[in-house]
């Protein structure tokens, strides 16, 4: 039975207390290979951890940083902080020592929860405000400048408008900004997710995206906990070797992912198998056969995912058009979402029964969307307004004023359009737009989508250099090796063949692009691109600054 929950107050304190009281015997959180604890035990662990913080002198409004990969204790620490009116500062596990130091200093964090694995990264960081470091794996105090006192955390008054979290985005623009989110911002998104796709206490989530990212935090943690569902955490990075046994064991009903994971599955399991020879390639190009092939592949994939998946959420970056077509034709229960850290994060979404190719769905309940100053094609900046919009950037009024404009509207920095049904279609980041010599707007993401459809391409990035479009491409060298294996003994000839292939490759891509989007050159990358937590390429690292 799917029944919507209405909290007495829109606070994370109320959310967790309601779940502990309503589902005491339900399984709550666990590692995939661990022993789950129930909601009653979760409540006790949260109180015990809150008492620990209180013993070290923390009071309402103090900031506590959390630097770790996903684990059940991450959830315990999170709720121990926010349910007592403290402010949580989650730090992405891929942040460098310098980035971590900046976050700790800027947020003036007094306590740091850190996993044993990441402790060496911060062990010798000089952070004046930091008084206590606690090992997240077992809640032991590693070091502290403060002597603990016997003190229970007790009941703390927490209001909807209180700050719950400051989240530092790794972003794609260089220096991070601290996004200030209130209790109401965060509980609103968890509560409204029920409208997109209802769940109940019998649902099982498999979680592997970083909990320090708002996408997994809100929809992969807060939402299932609100409804008494159970969450299992993957202990290792989500490679096929780690993911496949976990899927078989947990058999999740709900999962969140970024496009990159499904794109890899598609390239290996589907595209790779039907690009082997001329005959299978020809069959695959026929719509009727392609749909049939996708349907068969989809059934196999569904079983690989455990056979009871109801919701496979994809967000954090734009999904490749061919991969989405495969998911649609394969009848996989995929869902699409769109949002930003600044909107906690969800703005729009489409449940599995609502998805339309290339669209990120409809505005979620309670959120207004508009296209600001659309051009003749209906494309303009997406503006959002609602209870999910952040208070602002921490200690940065200038940056806040740039994005929070009149009457509470938030400028997303994304170009998009809406169809007559109010479905949202994203065109790309405004700062990524390249203007051609003739004044045409070129969306590099659209060109990258065409390039990435090539079977030998792992990922790509299109930039402007000296007035021309250049594609930086990471190739699947193993697949190319196989393609040219008959030339292994003749190195010079192989190089010649490779050069010919690159020329052919560039020509093939350009034939699929309009005249404004033609590539001048293709540069081969020798290392994978650096990415954000949501697996978006950090474009600023690969763009030449204009003089």
- The predicted structure's pLDDT at residue 281: 78
What does the longest C-alpha to C-alpha distance in the chain come to?
77
Phi then psi for 467, rounded to 5 degrees?
85, 0
- The predicted structure's pLDDT at residue 490: 39
CA dihedral sign, ordered 230, 235, 239, 241: negative
Distance CA 144, CA 203 (A): 40
With contact defined as beta carbons under 8 Å apart, do 353 and 374 qualify? no
Q: What are the structure tokens assigned to 88, written together?
A: 């949580």
Distance CA 546, CA 465 (A): 9
- The bridge status of strand 254-257 relative to strand 204-207 is parallel
- The predicted structure's pLDDT at residue 182: 98
Q: Which residue from 214, 232, 96 is spatially nearest to 164, judged by alpha carbons?
A: 214
> pLDDT tens digits, the chain, 547 residues: what are they?
689 999 999 999 999 999 999 999 999 999 999 999 999 999 999 999 999 999 999 999 999 999 999 999 999 999 999 999 999 999 999 888 888 999 999 999 999 999 999 999 999 889 999 999 999 999 999 999 999 998 899 999 999 999 999 999 854 444 669 999 999 999 999 999 999 999 999 999 999 999 999 999 999 999 999 999 999 999 988 888 899 999 999 999 999 998 888 888 888 778 777 767 777 778 888 999 999 999 999 999 999 999 999 999 999 888 988 899 999 999 999 999 999 999 999 999 999 999 999 999 999 999 999 999 999 999 999 999 999 999 999 999 999 999 999 899 999 999 999 999 999 999 999 999 998 877 788 999 989 989 988 888 889 999 999 889 999 999 887 777 776 664 444 345 556 676 777 888 899 999 999 888 999 999 999 899 998 877 889 898 898 754 4
- The predicted structure's pLDDT at residue 10: 98
Could you give all domains of the chain from N- to C-terminal order, each with its CATH number? 12-189 (3.40.50.12780), 221-431 (3.40.50.12780), 433-541 (3.30.300.30)
Which residues have CB under 8 Å from 216's CB, separation 6+? 207, 209, 210, 256
- The predicted structure's pLDDT at residue 98: 86
Distance CA 404, CA 450 (A): 34
Distance CA 96, CA 99 (A): 5
Distance CA 441, CA 78 (A): 43
Which residues have CB under 8 Å from 432's CB, separation 6+? 443, 444, 445, 539
Instruction: Give the CB-side neighbour count of residue 27, counting CA atoms within 13 A.
Output: 15
DSSP 8-state assignment for residue 315: -
With contact defined as beta carbons under 8 Å apart, do 64 and 81 qualify? yes
With contact defined as beta carbons under 8 Å apart, do 66 and 212 qualify? yes
Collapsed DSSP state (helix, strand, coil) of residue 521: strand
Q: What is the CA radius of gyration of the chain?
A: 24
- The bridge status of strand 410-418 relative to strand 380-385 is antiparallel
H helices within 487-546, ranges in order? 491-511
- The predicted structure's pLDDT at residue 547: 41
Distance CA 470, CA 434 (A): 12
Other Cβ atoms closer than 10 A to 384: 25
Phi then psi for 270, rounded to 5 degrees?
-115, -70
Q: What are the structure tokens assigned to 492, written together?
A: 């010079």
Q: Which residue from 382, 270, 9, 25 is spatially nearest to 161, judged by alpha carbons?
A: 9
Which residues have CB under 8 Å from 425's CB, separation 6+? 358, 359, 360, 416, 417, 418, 419
* Helices and strands: H and E segment counts in the chain: 17, 26
With contact defined as beta carbons under 8 Å apart, do 259 and 323 qualify? yes
Q: pTM of this prediction?
A: 0.90
- The predicted structure's pLDDT at residue 170: 58
With contact defined as beta carbons under 8 Å apart, do 77 and 49 qualify? yes
Distance CA 374, CA 385 (A): 18
- For residue 381, the surrounding DSSP H or E stretch is strand 380-385
Which residues have CB under 8 Å from 103's CB, separation 6+? 65, 89, 91, 95, 109, 168, 176, 178
* Site of tokens 């959420």: 313
Question: SS3 letters for 92-126?
Answer: CCCCCHHHHHHHHHHCCCCEEEECCCCHHHHCCCC
Report CA-CA distances (Å) from 345 to 168, 258, 351, 407, 412: 13, 14, 16, 20, 11
């Amino acid at each position: 039975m799917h029944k919507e929950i209405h909290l007495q107050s829109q606070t994370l304190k109320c959310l967790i207390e309601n779940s502990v009281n309503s589902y005491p015997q339900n399984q709550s959180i666990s590692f995939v290979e661990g022993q789950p604890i129930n909601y009653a035990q979760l409540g006790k662990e949260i109180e015990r951890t809150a008492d620990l913080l209180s013993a070290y002198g923390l009071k309402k409004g103090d900031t506590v940083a959390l630097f770790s990969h996903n684990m059940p204790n991450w959830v315990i620490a999170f709720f121990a902080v926010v349910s007592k009116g403290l402010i949580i500062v989650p730090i992405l596990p891929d942040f460098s020592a310098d980035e971590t130091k900046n976050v700790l200093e800027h947020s003036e964090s007094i306590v740091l929860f850190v996993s044993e694995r990441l402790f060496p990264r911060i062990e010798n960081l000089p952070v004046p405000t930091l008084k206590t470091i606690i090992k997240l794996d077992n809640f032991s105090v590693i070091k502290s400048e403060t002597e603990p006192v016997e003190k229970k955390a007790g009941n703390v008054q927490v209001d909807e408008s209180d700050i719950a979290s400051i989240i530092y985005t790794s972003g794609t623009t260089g220096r991070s900004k601290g996004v200030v989110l209130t209790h109401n911002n965060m509980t609103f998104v968890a509560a409204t997710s029920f409208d997109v796709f209802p769940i109940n206490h019998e649902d099982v989530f498999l979680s592997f995206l970083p909990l320090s990212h708002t996408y997994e935090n809100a929809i992969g943690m807060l939402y299932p906990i609100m409804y008494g569902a159970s969450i299992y955490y993957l202990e290792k990075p989500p490679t096929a070797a780690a993911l496949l046994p976990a899927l078989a064991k947990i058999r999740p009903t709900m999962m969140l992912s970024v496009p990159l994971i499904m794109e890899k599955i598609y390239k290996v399991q589907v595209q790779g198998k039907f690009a082997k020879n001329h005959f299978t390639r020809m069959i695959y190009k026929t719509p009727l056969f392609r749909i049939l092939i996708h349907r068969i592949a989809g059934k196999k994939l569904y079983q690989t995912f455990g056979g009871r998946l109801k919701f496979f959420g994809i967000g954090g970056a734009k999904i490749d058009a061919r991969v989405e077509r495969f998911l649609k034709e394969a009848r996989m229960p995929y869902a699409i979402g769109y949002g930003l850290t600044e909107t906690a994060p969800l703005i729009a979404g489409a449940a599995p029964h609502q998805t339309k190719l290339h669209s990120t769905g409809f505005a979620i309940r309670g959120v207004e969307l508009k296209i600001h100053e659309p051009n003749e094609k209906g494309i303009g900046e997406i503006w959002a307004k609602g209870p999910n919009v952040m208070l602002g950037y921490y200690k940065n009024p200038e940056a806040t004023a740039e994005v929070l404009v009149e009457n509470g509207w938030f400028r997303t920095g994304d170009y998009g359009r809406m169809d007559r049904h109010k479905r949202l279609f994203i065109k790309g980041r405004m700062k990524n737009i390249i203007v051609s010599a003739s004044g045409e707007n070129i969306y590099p993401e659209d060109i990258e989508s065409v390039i990435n459809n090539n079977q030998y391409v792992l990922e790509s990035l299109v930039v402007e250099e000296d007035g021309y479009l250049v594609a930086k491409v990471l190739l699947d060298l193993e697949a190319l090796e196989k393609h040219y294996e008959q030339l292994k003994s003749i190195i010079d000839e192989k190089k010649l063949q490779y050069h010919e292939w690159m020329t052919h490759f560039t020509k093939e891509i350009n034939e699929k692009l309009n005249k404004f989007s033609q590539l001048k050159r293709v540069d081969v990358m020798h290392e994978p691109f650096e990415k954000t937590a949501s697996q978006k390429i950090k474009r600023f690292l690969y763009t030449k600054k204009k003089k």
